[in-house]
Chain A
Amino acid sequence: MISSDPKQVKQICFDNIDVPGMHTLSVARKNGAYAFLPTVLKDFDSGKIIDEVKTSGLRGRGGAGFPTGLKWSFVPRNTGKPTYLLCNADEGEPGTFKDRDIMRFDPHLLIEGMIMAGFALDVQDAYIYIRGEFLHETNVMNAAIAEAYEANLLGDNILGSGYSMDLTVHRGAGAYICGEETALIESLEGKAGRPRFKPPFPAVEGFYGCPTVVNNVETLATVPAILEFGGQWHASIGVPNNAGCKVFSVSGHVNKPGNYEVPLGTSLKTLIEDYCGGLQHGTVPKVIIPGGSSTPWLTAEHYETPLTYDDLMKAGSFLGSGAIIVMDETADLVALTHRLAHFYAHESCGQCTPCREGTGWLERIMKRVEKGQGNAEDVTVLGEAATHMAGRTICALAEGAAAPVLSLLKYFPEDVQARLAEKS
């Protein structure tokens, strides 16, 4: 776990990411894994854990940024139904690759976080819904879970505490939409992954109609540190209302792409220049997609923006999953938008009219525009078709599909105009 002096902590989830053999239980234990778990099981109760997590200011690391403690407190108790804990490890947002590293390098951190969360919510059965393509990560997770069972960290009467929890890894089948929590639940129930409308929310009626908490890998992996060092400690990292550290997956035109865990509030510029070795070309990026491909773009003017949920929203985008895609002036934004439109047209679940029909429409127009066959009306249609998809569907996929198109039209209309067959 984290170094013995919490004041020195710079990283939470990634603290031991580089320790060789950390995925094995023996190495993980040597580095502090499960050391504090017996204390939690013995001295903590549900209320205390949820209070600590509330105090910590931890917000969901999967994309929506919803306060984790609050989410947990919504779960109704004594309903006569089981409560389920589902870990969303369907890391499919283009640009995101942080959960993968936690799972393949430090799986016990996630398992420990899930035991603690499960204990807080009185969960008997927990699942990790893992992206189907993550075969290696699935194998690592399963091996770690097997070791944890062997050591009585999972299963019946964990460490003699009287608390029992089973943990199962379920592989997805390659659908992006299954990262949406209700589609994930549908898929886990054995159905096609199509989001459910809300209400009812999963906390009340989720997996098989039972109270269900769905948390991201990184969120759950943050829980052990919060309980060990206290919610106050976590709240002191970062900036108010945006506490703690966040793993950013930086990709694109930077010299050292990769995962970087930094305190929230670090600016985009600092992250890119101090951590990622700066841009490949030029001094300011042309486009930054700050939270995964479905978040609206930022441009050079936003380069100094602090990386917090609030500041990015003020800038017109979202922190999302923390997948920062950086593009310098060499990027072909029309081609990029076409590629993203293709992705969303492929991944739309097909339920809602605007998304099912709109994503394909956007893709086809973008394809023509990219080939130089677009016309002036296409620009109008792109704008209207994208605008009326966003926020009018069951889930946020349509909004994500609209974001790149609307960003392109907003910030770089001249790039589009230059590609049209007849210039207007």
Chain B
Amino acid sequence: MTSLFINDQEVDVAPGTSILEACRENGAEVPYFCYHPELSVAANCRMCLVEVEGWAKPAASCCTPVSEGMKVKTQTESLAKDREMVMEYLLIHHPLDCPVCDQGGSCKLQDYAVEHGASKGRYAEHKRASVNYELGPFVNTCMTRCIHCTRCVRFADEVAGTGDIGILNRSDHMNIAGIVEEALESELSGNLPDICPVGALLDKPSHDVSRPWEMSHHKSTCTQCPNGCDISIESRGDEVMRIRPIEHSPEPWICDRGRYVYDAFRSDNRILKPTMRRDGGGLVEASWDEAFEQVITLLKDKRVGILFSPDWSIEGQMAIRLMRDALFPDAKVAYGLHRRDMRTFAFEEGFSMTTAQIEAADQVVVLGSDLRQRLPLLMQRLRKRGRAGKPVSRIGAMNYRTNMDINNDALVRPRDWPAVIARAMEQVREVGKTAAGFDSWMAAVSDRHEAGKVLADALMADSCALLVGEEIRAHEDAAALIHGLDLLMRACGHAESDNDGRNLIPEGMNRQVLSATHGDVRASAGDIFAAASAGDLDALIVIGSDPVGDGVFPSAAKAALAKVPLIQIGSISGEMAEYASVQLPAAAYSEVEGTFVNMEGRIRIASNPIKSLGQERPLWKVMMRMIQVMGAEVPVVNLDELRAAVVERLPELAGAWAGGATDTVLIKPRRNRDVSIAPAARSDSFELDVVSRYSMYREGMWARASKLLTEAGRIHALDDVLVHPETLAAKGLSVGEHKVRTFLGENTYHIGVREDVSPGVLFVGKRGVAGDLSDVSGASIEGGAA
């Protein structure tokens, strides 16, 4: 530790700490604009000047490291004058338009002008004005207000990795500008207005509609991806106005999906009242009693299948289980739309490592995931890691854009995974590493794929994090592949409790909890749809899911929904409205007291909900009422009883609900060590493997209900269907409309080409839009030379 004196007080800080950080850590206020704890130091605003005894000139505290015995003063007459002058310099060209600026009221420049500025500026010359520029659908620019702190430039370079904001010109003609118009292709762009200390970059969707002091802040958890970021939902009255990250939470940023989904909260797509069909017509509003009458008619003594979203609070999910047990004790439930292989996985969905541990690991290998879309905040951490010189490798069906340099990249078809893993096993075996079952797994695969070298090389490191993505999780032989990966990790010593690098990216939130609460009655969504289509079920209950718009079973879902009635329970209506016989409104995640567990197993309890907009009720209350009207005994009557029911299955949560730690107690994904599944040979004859893209702007009912995300999705869309140029060329075909044959039949699609796609893969750029293609894992392009 280095000890120094700040305003005569002796303090100890880590060596190499800047004076500014030492002051922040020890409660000495130093004003600053350009400094940001998550960004590199720029030292350009010169607001953070301090005096160091024995130094001739004041020092910029943000870029001056502490030294032993240094005597720092943060408040002197001379510094006060310096700060007053810096404020005067900054305000030379800054417009005095605070009353019409969104930043007014939460503006560093405004605050410091009051605290450190003079009462009057003396500048009487010409003023500068700057031209605004286009920063995409979420960020508004008013560049005349810019104070050139370059936080946005550093954010684009260092965090977003896009590098598309820069500095043009110099002296007081200096401008911050987008390098290319409309270039901001970052999934983190919404953070720019947050980091701008003035009103130069503003949130476009909430521009000119609200003032900072009108907002009430509700701490909550984002359920838009398994990262489960801490968010502050800001509302004016009952209306959600915006969503922002929370300082000092595990992630300092939030992604655009989690932020701009807020307009879905007040969209026409919300289910705010019960609705039902009368006399076979369209859905019309009904009273709760009428709706439940209809529910009784459709469900009483019937065989049902239950499908629900993993993103409900744990309390909501437990209530679903209680409802099932009370009313439909034989019913199977599905809570994923992407899993084809329901055999037990050797390691279940969820992360055995924290994202901070992944950032620090010696090696990281991303297996079959578009991480930038799927987990933008984890991608950001990988970028940070890359900047620190740590390697990231990737194997997958497409060179997904990452905005960072990937060290080792290998393209594979989904059918190649067994050969990839076997190749890695062979290499690992050569240096004498093995595990029980290793050799028989390897022997079951005849081919070897060179991409396995990337995997094996990374596994040789002391610590190696595998990030196993959807291409494996949704694979038809997923259980065998995951068993293979588990064997590899065990052989290389990465499956021990203190060095467990197995991270299977889940589809949604709460995955570890769902294994405990619903694992024993789980089925594949595909199986439930097949049962309904085959006449083995009488009705479907869908709670917060949209199997037609999302997932890998849209055709199966459509077929099932054509056959049996649907009871839809949820917050968003979406495509399910077309099929629903009854809709019951359940409160959104902004409106409930509830508990959420993210992919790392971190527990978050929301306790300050926003008032409901309509008649929607927390899901658990809807479930209990349903049990009651259907004539069964209501198992729990309040949240405490409900939580007690959860604790029976998942004791880890007891402490958190009793007010204990939530950040340090992590619920780890389950391990199934006795699983042993050898890979099977592929049986169909389709020449291409189908891989569909997860788009953060399109996936999920919430995202599709958000106009903002829909518009962003339109801007960031890829062609509907893509293949590698060689794939088309080999058949003598060119870009255009082509017939594609799958087990569902033949359809015509516009097929584009992209070098980034693995040869032999049919890449579905717009899941859902391509309809039937989402259901299949193999396809052939018809026509051309065979």
Contacts and interface: CB of A to CB of B under 8 A. Distances in A.
Contact of A352 (B44, B167, B173): B44
B148 A197 contact: no
B97 interface: no
Interface in A319-369: 345-354, 356-361, 364-365, 368
B88 to A, nearest CB: 8
B167 A393 contact: no
Contacts of A365: 125
A356 B174 contact: yes
A314 to B, nearest CB: 16
B86 to A, nearest CB: 5
A377 B122 contact: yes
Given A357-B90, A365-B125, A350 B173 contact: yes
A388 interface: yes
B172 A356 contact: yes
B85 A385 contact: yes
A163 B497 CA distance: 54
A115 to B, nearest CB: 33
Interface in B542-561: none
A357 B92 contact: yes
B85 A384 contact: yes
A197 B43 contact: yes
A353 B48 CA distance: 12
Interface string A190-202: 0010000101000
The CB with the most chain B CB atoms within 10 A, among A192, A360, A365, is that of A360
Of residues B93, B126, B171, B173, which shows the largest number of chain A Cβ atoms within 10 Å of its Cβ?
A: B171
Interface centre among A356, A368, A385, A391 (most CB of B within 10 A): A356
6 closest cross-chain pairs (CB), A and B? A350-B174, A357-B89, A388-B85, A391-B57, A364-B125, A360-B172
Contact of B44 (A175, A353, A377): A353
B182 to A, nearest CB: 23
A177 B170 CA distance: 11
B123 interface: yes
7 contacts: A353-B46, A353-B47, A354-B86, A359-B172, A364-B126, A391-B56, A394-B44
Nearest to A199: B65
Contact of B171 (A192, A356, A364, A384): A356
A410 interface: no
A354 B170 contact: no
Contact of A392 (B58, B125, B171, B174): B58
Contacts of A347: 170-171
Nearest to B81: A388
A376 interface: no
A391 B58 contact: yes
Interface of A: 175, 177, 192, 197, 199, 345-354, 356-361, 364-365, 368, 377, 381, 384-385, 388, 391-394
A199 B19 CA distance: 13
A353 B56 contact: no
A350 B167 contact: yes
Nearest to A364: B125
Given A352-B44, A353-B45, A357-B92, A388 B82 contact: yes
B63 interface: yes
B680 interface: no
Interface in B75-97: 81-82, 85-86, 89-90, 92-93
Given A177-B170, A354-B85, 10 more contacts: A350-B169, A353-B148, A356-B148, A357-B172, A359-B171, A361-B92, A361-B123, A384-B85, A388-B85, A392-B86
B147 interface: yes
Contacts of A361: 89, 92, 123, 125
B90 A192 contact: no
Nearest to B174: A350
A360 B44 contact: no
Interface-centre pick from B47, B123, B169, B172 (highest chain A CB count, 10 A): B172
A392 B47 CA distance: 10
B85 to A, nearest CB: 4
Contact count band on B: 35 or more
B125 A349 contact: no
Interface of B: 41-47, 49, 56-58, 60, 63, 65, 81-82, 85-86, 89-90, 92-93, 122-123, 125-126, 147-148, 167, 169-174
A354 B56 CA distance: 18
Contacts of A345: 171-172
A327 B30 CA distance: 45
A197 B180 CA distance: 29
A350 B172 contact: yes
Contact of B46 (A175, A349, A352): A352
Contacts of B167: 192, 350
Name the residue among B44, B56, B123, B169 with the largest chain A CB count within 10 angstroms: B44
For the residues of B in contact with A, the DSSP-based class is loop
A325 to B, nearest CB: 23
A392 B49 contact: yes
Contacts of A353: 44-47, 86, 89-90, 147-148
B81 A348 contact: no
Contacts of A359: 171-172
Contacts of B172: 345, 348, 350, 356-357, 359-360
Nearest to B166: A192
B147 to A, nearest CB: 7
A350 B47 contact: no
Contacts of B174: 350, 356
Contacts of A392: 46, 49, 57-58, 82, 86
Contacts of A394: 43-44, 60
A350 B171 contact: yes
A230 to B, nearest CB: 36
Contacts of A192: 167, 170
Contacts of A352: 43-46
Contacts of A197: 41, 43, 60, 63
B46 A354 contact: yes
Nearest to A393: B46
Nearest to A357: B89
A110 B177 CA distance: 41
A381 B84 CA distance: 13
B89 A358 contact: yes
B147 A349 contact: no
A345 B174 CA distance: 12
A28 to B, nearest CB: 39
Contacts of B44: 351-353, 394
B171 A346 contact: yes
Given A388-B81, A391-B57, A360 B86 contact: no
Contacts of B170: 175, 177, 192, 347-350
Contacts of B65: 199
B717 to A, nearest CB: 34
Contacts of B45: 352-353
Contacts of B93: 357
A59 B41 CA distance: 32
A199 B172 CA distance: 26
A350 B122 contact: no
A390 B63 CA distance: 18
Contacts of B85: 354, 384-385, 388
Contacts of A177: 170
Contacts of A364: 125-126
A377 B44 CA distance: 28
Nearest to B63: A197
Contacts of B60: 197, 394
B598 to A, nearest CB: 36
A192 B86 CA distance: 24
A358 B93 CA distance: 11
Contacts of A346: 171
B91 to A, nearest CB: 9
A401 to B, nearest CB: 10
B77 to A, nearest CB: 13
A17 B44 CA distance: 43
A393 B57 CA distance: 10
Nearest to B150: A351
